[in-house]
Amino acid sequence: MKLSRLLFLRDWGLNLTRIITLLFVAISLYSSQKELDYYRELSSNVDLFFNTYQQLNNKYVDSIDPRGFILSGIKSMLETLDPYTILLEGRSKTHYDDLTKGKYGGIGVYIGTSGSDKRLTVVSPIDDSPASKVGLKAGDRIMKIDDFDTKGLTSGNASKYLRGEKGSTVVLEIERIGEKRNLFFEIERDEIKINNVPYAGVVDGVGYIKVSQFSNGTSSDVKRELLSLLDSGVEGIILDLRFNPGGLLTSAVEITNLFLDRNKKIVSTRGKNNTLIKEYKTNKEPVSVTIPLVILINSSSASASEIVSGAIQDYDRGVIVGEGSFGKGLVQQIYNVNDTTSLKITIAKYYTPSGRLIQKLDYFSEHTKSIPSDTLSFFTESGRVVKSGKGIIPDLSVKSKKYSDYIAFLRMKNCFNNFTYKFLKENQDYKFRGDIESFVVKEFKDYIKDLEIDFKLKSEILLDSLKKISNDTRVSELVDDIAAINNDIKSKLFDDNLKDIKNLLAIDFTTRFFGNRSKYKVMLNDDDQLNKAISIIKNRDEYFKLLEPIN
């Protein structure tokens, strides 16, 4: 390490220590003994930190990377706090910047992977995006981004190569089904609006709006779709917040305002010592306070999703259906440390209008903490009992669809997506019309057979363990008998799961032929939670009964 850097670090540490010492002296003139003890301990530990670093830097046998060393120390400190107080660097910081702006510079494509080499593949271009304007198509495989070979590049890491400043250009080398040579597309990046309402439409006479996250602009998107659905004469509205991790608090308040009158408290935040920081209230005219409303949630509905569903539940404005929410009721504020790094700090907790805490009791599930005083029962406007400290518990619990282990295994192996790519490459004149035909099912069955995938039943795994620990002849004979039964079960797995196989193939084919938005129509055909929500809206007696207090 250069001497100048060493001197800088030393002087910076010493100066910071002196500043804290001076602060300590100043504070001592006006503070209580408890505050004095705190600042005395702070000053002592800052000394400890810098003295330790100085000793290691001077005497450790190998050279020390100052940035990496300090960052590891900071991250270790943060790990002792809640899981959401974190350091944001690079792509993580960019993600939160995009969330705040509601847009980013890029080409506008949904991407995945396909083929045995897991190449980046265009799932669907976003409508009216640079990618759609130059002619990129679903199924196009991205072989190079500029001069960078995409082999081994995951869809998650691809964004740093595809995104960039508005007006800048990127060249994609594309492998396309039916083309003998690779194609080259020069694409000028533009502002891509984050699509937080990937689908809205009418399902069996009921309006349905899917919200994927809450960012800048989400509320206006939801309002536009809501007005359109109401104009079409729907019987009610279903707001789908399942798998929605949250986002901006202001967006959650604005969306709740669409269904509640002015001046209704939506959420309050409380910080250290339970002191009230701020109350958020509706401040605009609603779109409708009477249309029957059902909100769908599950264990992946968090933060802003819980603010919306919690407020709607507390005011008895709608029925919450599905599974218990995630239980993330902590408020984070982002503070810039420098141009490339920010610190996301938990500064408060969320409370619903009735006063209940959204945050579940434990930050970390492996630790059991004592029940805090705010884990109590509260009451909705009509007098229904709602629990605090448990996330949002639905008014009507409906389990989500669970795929069999066999289907889960095929999905994990990316079998459906890879088959779709292979099939369309070999059948370039095929026209998909919405239903998976029998010959397509047969080809998929042959494809799975040719893969020779090593799927094991749970009973097979247990038998394998039993074989290893027992040499008893009688046990071996029993194992052979059970193995024969397992083989019979495995031979029927494909046919036993045919309905799910056809549905998952239909989702992939629909996406390739008609775009990302159209796949939701297929996905919603086999959705128990959605079907129950529709049933509740159509049966007004059941709807209003769910909103009444239990005597």
Which residue ranges make up each domain of the chain? 3-64, 103-193, 199-330+344-397, 405-526
Q: Band of the pLDDT at 237, cuts 50, 70, 90?
A: very high
Please tell me which residue, 3 or 397, carries the higher pLDDT value. Answer: 397
Q: Is the pLDDT of residue 314 over 60?
A: yes
Q: What is the pLDDT of residues 420-464, one digit of tens each?
A: 989 988 998 999 999 999 999 999 999 999 988 888 887 777 766
Please give the pLDDT value at position 156.
Answer: 73
Per-residue pLDDT at 168 exceeds 50:
yes
CATH superfamily of 199-330+344-397: 2-enoyl-CoA Hydratase; Chain A, domain 1 (3.90.226.10)
List beta partners, residue 320. Answer: 295
Average pLDDT of the segment spanning 186-197: 85
Q: Which helix (H) or strand (E) holds 267?
A: strand 265-270
Least confident stretch, 154-163, 223-232, 397-406, 504-513: 154-163
The rounded mean pLDDT for the chain is 84
The strand ranges marked E within 271-409 are: 276-281, 293-297, 319-322, 330-336, 341-351, 377-379, 385-387, 396-397
Lowest mean pLDDT of 43-52, 235-244, 345-354, 361-370, name the range: 361-370
Would you say residue 25 has pLDDT above 60?
A: no
Is residue 246's pLDDT more than 80? yes
Confidence grade of residue 30 (pLDDT, cut at 50, 70, 90): low
d(CA 243, CA 301): 5
DSSP 126: P
Q: Indicate which residues carry an active-site annotation.
A: 303, 314, 328
Q: Average pLDDT, stretch 66-93?
A: 79
pTM of the predicted model, to two decimals?
0.77
- Tokens of residue 63, six digits: 């050279």
pLDDT value, residue 373: 47
Percent of the chain predicted with pLDDT > 90: 41
Distance (Å, whole) CA 203 – CA 521: 9
pLDDT band at 224 (very low <50, low <70, confident <90, very high): very high
In sequence order, what DSSP letters do the residues of 280-311 get, joined into one string? EE--S--S-SSS-EEEEE-TT--THHHHHHHH
Mean pLDDT of all residues in 150-176: 86
Task: Please name the CATH architecture into which domain 103-193 falls.
Answer: Roll (2.30)
Position 351 confidence tier, pLDDT thresholds 50, 70, 90 = very high
Looking at residue 98, its pLDDT comes to 54
Contact 532, 205 (CB under 8 A): no
Asked whether the predicted pLDDT for residue 31 surpasses 60, the reply is no
Show Cβ contacts of residue 314 under 8 Å, excluding neighbours closer than 6 positions. 352, 353, 354, 356, 378, 380, 381, 386
Average pLDDT over residues 65-92: 80
- Indicate the range of 191-195, 253-257, 522-526 predicted with least confidence: 191-195
The mean pLDDT value for 30-48 works out to 72
Q: How far apart are CA 542 and CA 548, in angstroms?
A: 10
Share of the chain above pLDDT 70, in %: 85
| Bigger pLDDT: 506 vs 526 | 506
Owner of token pair 């992977």: 113
Statement: residue 369 has pLDDT above 50:
no
What pLDDT, on the 0 to 100 scale, is given for residue 307? Answer: 96
Pairing of strands 293-297, 319-322: parallel
In the structure, what pLDDT confidence band is assigned to residue 8 with cuts at 50, 70 and 90?
very low
| Mean of pLDDT values over 27-55 | 73
Of 249-263, 398-412, 445-459, the range with the lowest mean pLDDT is 445-459
Q: Which pLDDT score, from 0 to 100, does residue 64 have?
A: 84
